[in-house]
Amino acid sequence: MGEVKVNRLLEKLQLKEFKLSSLLEVTKAINENFKTDKLLNLYEYILHEQLGISKLVLYHYDNIEWTCLLRYGAKGKAKKVDVKKDLSHISEITVIESSSSDSLNSFDLVVPIMHKEMPLAYLLIGDLNEDELIISPTIKHMPFVQTLTNIIIVAIENKRFANESIIQERANREMELAAEMQKLLFPAKLPSNNRMEVAAHYESLHLIGGDYYDFIQLNNEEYVLCIADVSGKGVPAALLMSNFQANLRANIKYNHAGLSIENLIRELNKNVNDSANGEKFITFFLAYYNCTNRVLKYINAGHNHPILTDGKTAKQLNKGCIGLGMFEELPSVEVEEIVLKPNDTLVCFTDGLVELENEEGEQFETERLINTIHDNFHLRMKDLNKLIFFQLEKYKGDAEYEDDTAAMSCRFF
């Protein structure tokens, strides 16, 4: 009798040593950053070859869908388990006595692996043999099996998080580089001299956006200024805008002698159609100014009406055509010419400015912008822009910005 007890004790010690050794081996593999398939191979070897568990399926949720990480000994209907339908209600180790799902009936136990009451994985084991009197390895070693499965799943989850973190970090870096490149689209220096003073301000909702402004000097007498807004937001809008800017500058450079802004706007419409394939459009305001005869010619292609004011009365520049990219050919284009007086001021902006909403859902609107300009007409253009954006911030309160916002102010002396 004493020999039997000694043998049982030795057997228990050997089993504990085996389990400890297995856990250490798995921990070492995790620390050495084994790939997922190698971790699963080690997991299968321990359960199947060393513990004698004959049938097993392991499902894992990868934050998108349920996938089968490991399967052995399971055939036929056992391969057709619908995890969401058949298992999502199980939160504790459950013996499968009789299930409405035929595929589950070929298993004996469900072991959920939970995190904060949410399932990360389900382990299905089919190992009980009622015709044999011996204790099944599954029942005998259940605490160890559950612990080992937890360790493996947590390791796989950590790998997933690490990979997602690397991908996100790379994406963030690419976005930062894209934002730096987009800044190059905007003029690095705007004029401030005895002929005119120009300043601009841009707030992007994301790192990159679809608003754009530009100021181009053709020669000592002639200038082109513009502002634009691509439908949509984010990367697609930014890519289309960068392409638009390149086409705009290329067309102006090629045709700057005797520039026709009507021909330019038609060519730009063709460029937008070629680039966007009818999926996006651009609202655009384009103005040509000759400082010798003080004539401003402009076309407004569906953009918010820029405000031209002498500090007392305001004119909204609304002549032009539809937005670019809406039709293959612009049905009509109207060019308006205005002779400017000294100190006339032009404020161009995108819809994110006047459509900004406060906490009550009320928009800032053009009238409030005009009043802000008139009340602070004495300010320099840079300071006027700062004040406008300060008023926007104050107006919205705790509400969030919903769109990119740009403004360009020009005073003609």
* Closest-CA residue to 305 (of 263, 268, 275, 349): 349
SS (H, E, C) 328-351: CCCCCCCCEEEECCCCEEEEEECH
224 in Cβ contact with 299 (< 8 Å): no
CATH topology of domain 177-412: Phosphatase 2c; domain 1 (3.60.40)
216 in Cβ contact with 190 (< 8 Å): no
Report pLDDT for 99: 65
Would you kindly state where each structural domain of the chain is located, as residue ranges?
Answer: 2-163, 177-412
* 372-377 contacts, C-beta under 8 A, 24 or more apart: 373/307, 373/309, 373/314, 373/345, 373/347, 374/309, 374/311, 374/312, 374/314, 377/309, 377/311, 377/345
Report pLDDT for 104: 83
d(CA 150, CA 58): 11
d(CA 110, CA 96): 7
Report pLDDT for 176: 78
Report pLDDT for 9: 55
Q: What number of CA atoms fall less than 13 Å from residue 318's CA on the CB side?
A: 3
Report pLDDT for 129: 53
Q: Which residues of the chain have pLDDT under 50?
A: 1, 4, 6, 130-135
Token pair listed for 384: 């006027």
Report pLDDT for 1: 47
Q: What is the DSSP string of 269-288?
A: HHHHHHHHTTS--EEEEEEE
Report pLDDT for 214: 95
Report pLDDT for 148: 93
CATH topology of domain 2-163: Beta-Lactamase (3.30.450)
Q: Backbone dihedral region of 169: left (phi > 0), alpha (psi from -120 to 50 degrees) or beta?
A: alpha
